[in-house]
Amino acid sequence: RNRGYRTAMIGKWHLGQPWRPSLGYEYWVALTIGHTVDFWNNHVIDNGKSLEIKGRHIVDYLTDKAVEYIENYDGTAPFYLQLNYDGPYVNPPTNLGPAKNRFYKSYLGQEFKSFPRLAFNKNLAQQILEDEKHPPFVVEKLFEALQMHNDPETMANVASQNTLVDDGVGRVLAALKRRGLARNTLVIFSSDQGNFYGQHGIWEHTTATTPSNLYETPMNIPLIFRHVGHIVPGRRSDALLGQYDLPVTLLDYLGIDDAVFAGSPGRSFAAILKGADTRQGRDAVFFEQEETRGVRTKRYSFWRRLEGTGMPELYDMQLDPEQKTNVYGKKEYERVAARLSRQLDTFFATYSNPKYDLWHGGVAKGSLMRPSMFQRLYGKDWQPRTELLPAFTEDVGAHRTGPAREPLAD
């Protein structure tokens, strides 16, 4: 917005309160919940108006709003539209059993070869057996995961949710074409996370297991760029990128070089979009899920847990791409594990905000799956924190993005 763009956010907002525009957005249509319990009955803040959206699938509603925004675009300034779909949502109750959307019936009776058929995960089964040790919400999610596991109707539900989003994206692209904007609009398709749909015997999120896991399925997300006439279609890249690289890459591609992301490790990889070697990615990317931290290099995936919550895991992605065998502790991998562990420490020591550093007594910005885990480590007074922070402001022109340094090497 500070660079002359019209700004819009439509959909799910997981970065603070949803009741009024955040981070410089002008046009604001936001769901008021984080965990979806019904696609057909939702509360939305539509540019200051409080609306109940009933009898219409929320994905279709959000698509309608995005198409409407594009149709009403007056062309007086460039626009930035962020469309955050609330689907596919592979978390019960929305994906448990049959679905009501218009694509569901076409998937009934299908074989679903892409869905793994494995035994229910032992970690989840053990938690069910020890249900008195876990919060009721966790136990409820585990029982729902057990119901979904290898269930054909749930598989059809998940497939139909994906198709509903595909249909919505197609409608948005068609609206751009109708308005003559397709060649002058950069379109990015990505996701906040992946989800399990049977891999490793797990459904739902990385926090389903205890301790949390960082398997490839939820951590490897789609990232597609489309700019007609500028980005060569069909090119694929195996470059390693982190989500923290996306804002810097976007601004660099657009030629905006006077913004700063303080404390961020983000680097621009816009050169890949413009035709550079598609392998020129990072040596390593880093993850965190509550008590579990991880680093992914081109060959290895290494996770370490906060002391007292679980053991490390190491996977050789070249020899074991499906992550079936944890090789941590094997003599031939000792030096690899030690090196990756040092990288993990260096990265988080450099970029963690002490206030929110869960590994050193910091608080959570929002909800946690198992807050009792941290209370056991830090005392009963420790609590996740919800607070209203000052509105975002930027000192325009005070900094330039420039290339961020690569603090670590593989």
Q: For residues 86-109, give the mean pLDDT.
A: 93
If you ran DSSP here, which 8-state letter would residue 29 be given? E
Greater pLDDT, 373 or 280:
373
**What pLDDT band is residue 313 in, cutting at 50, 70 and 90?**
very high
**What pLDDT band is residue 190 in, cutting at 50, 70 and 90?**
very high
Can the peptide bond before residue 93 be classed as cis, meaning omega within 30 degrees of 0? yes
Q: For residues 102-121, give the mean pLDDT.
A: 94
Residue 303 CB: number of other CB atoms within 10 A? 26
Residue 167 CB: number of other CB atoms within 10 A? 15
Q: Give residue 278's pLDDT.
A: 67
Rounded Cα–Cα distance for residues 301 and 347 (Å): 15
Task: Locate the domains of the chain by residue range.
Answer: 6-275, 276-410
Q: For residues 195-210, give the mean pLDDT.
A: 93
Please name which of 386, 384, 390, 371 lies closest in space to residue 138, comparing C-alpha atoms: 371
Pick the CATH number of 276-410 from 3.30.2000.10, 3.40.50.300, 3.30.1300.10, 3.30.1120.10: 3.30.1120.10
16 residue type, one letter: G
**What pLDDT band is residue 383 in, cutting at 50, 70 and 90?**
confident
**Contact status, residue 80 vs residue 25, Cβ threshold 8 Å:** no
pLDDT at 49 over 50: yes
Q: Give residue 403's pLDDT.
A: 40
Please name which of 67, 77, 29, 81 lies closest in space to residue 179, comparing C-alpha atoms: 67
Q: Give residue 389's pLDDT.
A: 76
Q: For residues 226-236, give the mean pLDDT.
A: 93
Rounded Cα–Cα distance for residues 395 and 2 (Å): 10
Sole residue written with tokens 């749909």: 197
Angle between helices 58-71 and 152-178 (to 10 degrees): 10
- Give percent of the chain above pLDDT 90: 76
pLDDT at 259 over 90: no
Same fold, 6-275 and 276-410: no
Q: Give residue 268's pLDDT.
A: 93
pLDDT at 332 over 80: yes
Classify domain 6-275 at the CATH class level.
Answer: alpha beta
Rounded Cα–Cα distance for residues 345 and 293 (Å): 10
Bin 163: left if φ > 0, else alpha if -120 < ψ < 50, else beta.
alpha
Rounded Cα–Cα distance for residues 366 and 335 (Å): 36
pLDDT at 46 over 60: yes
Q: Give residue 401's pLDDT.
A: 42
DSSP sequence for 314-339: EEETTT-TT-----TT-GGGHHHHHH
Greater pLDDT, 403 or 124:
124
**What pLDDT band is residue 395 in, cutting at 50, 70 and 90?**
low
185-197 as b/e, with b when 16 or more CB fall inside 10 Å? bebeeeeeebbbb
Average pLDDT value over all residues in the chain: 91
Q: Give residue 366's pLDDT.
A: 74
If you ran DSSP here, which 8-state letter would residue 409 be given? -
Q: For residues 297-326, give the mean pLDDT.
A: 97
Q: Give residue 264's pLDDT.
A: 92
Q: Give residue 314's pLDDT.
A: 98
Q: Give residue 392's pLDDT.
A: 75
pLDDT at 405 over 70: no
DSSP sequence for 278-319: TT---SEEEEEETTEEEEEESSEEEEEE-TTS---EEEETTT
User: CA angle 94-97-99, nearest 5°?
Assistant: 60
